[in-house]
């Protein structure tokens, strides 16, 4: 049997992390928060939209995170950020950096978006919509 591949966070690549466990949440949160704010900057998200993508967290909690406060994210927020990282990655594989960063806010003719932007779609549909966008982009790039 092959040795498990270990991420820099100390979590195996061979099976999904148990995001319901506090120690896992504690370990992944700092990296997830940094990644989220880098993506939000690249996509030029308004704070209101960034808060919505995180599940509608309060202004106070959002600005604490944005200001660098050390917080443990819950399973829902870690999952949301994971989906956004996958979307960000797929966009950067599919498109130039400029289009990849703009795509999320551009009106889209795909029937899934009904002429609106993927951002609006994800804000309205929450985590299930984020999964659909991730699946769409993975399919476009030939992913699994």
pLDDT tens-digit series, residues 28-87:
999 999 999 999 999 999 999 999 999 999 999 999 999 988 899 999 999 999 999 999
Domain presence at residue 16: no
Q: What is the pLDDT of residues 79-138, one digit of tens each?
A: 999 999 999 999 999 999 999 999 999 999 999 999 999 999 999 999 999 999 999 999
Does 35 fall in a domain? yes
Taking the alpha carbons at both ends of the chain, their separation in whole angstroms is: 24
**pLDDT value, residue 2:** 45
Query: What is the band of 13 on the pLDDT scale with cuts at 50, 70, 90?
Result: low
Residue 17 lies in a domain: no
pLDDT mean over 15-37: 91
Maximum distance among all alpha carbons in the chain? 49
Higher model confidence: residue 10 or residue 128? 128
| Residue 136 located in a structural domain | yes
**Is 5 a member of any domain?**
no
What CA–CA distance (Å, rounded) separates 89 from 85? Answer: 6
Q: Quick one: pLDDT at residue 18?
A: 85
Q: What pLDDT was estimated at residue 11?
A: 56
Q: Are 66 and 37 in contact (CB under 8 A)?
A: yes
Number of domains composing the chain: 1
Of 21, 24, 29, 22, nearest in space to 71 by CA: 29
Q: Which domain holds residue 121?
A: 22-140
pLDDT of residue 5: 43
**Residue 103 domain flag:** yes
Residue 116 domain flag? yes
pTM of the model: 0.87
Give the C-alpha separation, 48 to 67, whole Å: 16
- Which residues contact residue 58 at a Cβ distance below 8 angstroms, ignoring those fewer than 6 apart? 51
């Amino acid at each position: 049997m092959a040795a498990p591949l270990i991420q820099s966070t100390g979590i195996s690549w061979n099976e999904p992390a148990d995001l319901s466990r506090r120690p896992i949440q504690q370990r992944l949160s700092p990296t997830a928060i940094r990644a989220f704010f880098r993506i939000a900057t690249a996509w030029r998200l308004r704070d209101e939209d960034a808060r919505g993508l995180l599940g509608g967290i309060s202004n106070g909690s959002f600005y604490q995170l944005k200001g660098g406060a050390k917080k443990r994210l819950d399973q829902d927020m870690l999952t949301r950020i994971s989906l956004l990282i996958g979307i960000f990655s797929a966009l950067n594989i599919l498109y130039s950096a400029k289009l990849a960063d703009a795509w999320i806010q551009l009106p889209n003719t795909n029937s899934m978006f009904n002429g609106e932007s993927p951002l609006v779609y994800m804000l309205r549909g929450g985590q299930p919509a984020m999964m659909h966008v991730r699946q769409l982009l993975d399919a476009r790039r030939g992913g699994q």
